Amino acid sequence: MKLDRKIALVTGAGAGIGKAIAAALGREGARILIADRANAEGAAAELAAAGIEARGLEVDITSEEDVARSMAFAQTQFGGLDIVVNNAAIFSTLMPKPMEEISAAEWRQVMDVNTLGTFLVTKAALPLLKKSSAARVVNLCSGVAFKGNPLYLHYVASKGAILSMTRAMAKELGAHKILVNAIAPGFTLSENVENNPALMAKVRGPSIAGRSLARDMYPEDLVGAAVFFAGPDSAFITGQTLVIDGGSYFH
Contact between 145 and 89 (Cβ < 8 Å) = no
Q: Tell whether the torsion through CA atoms of 225, 227, 28 and 66 is positive or negative.
A: negative
Amino acid in position 151: L
**Rounded Cα–Cα distance for residues 182 and 127 (Å):** 21
**Rounded Cα–Cα distance for residues 128 and 135 (Å):** 9
Catalytic residue among 152, 155, 218, 249: 155
Residue 155 catalytic?
A: yes
First CA to last CA distance, the chain? 31
The contacts of residue 123 (CB under 8 Å, 6+ apart) are none
Cβ–Cβ contacts within 10 Å for residue 119, how many? 16
Catalytic residue positions, numbered:
155
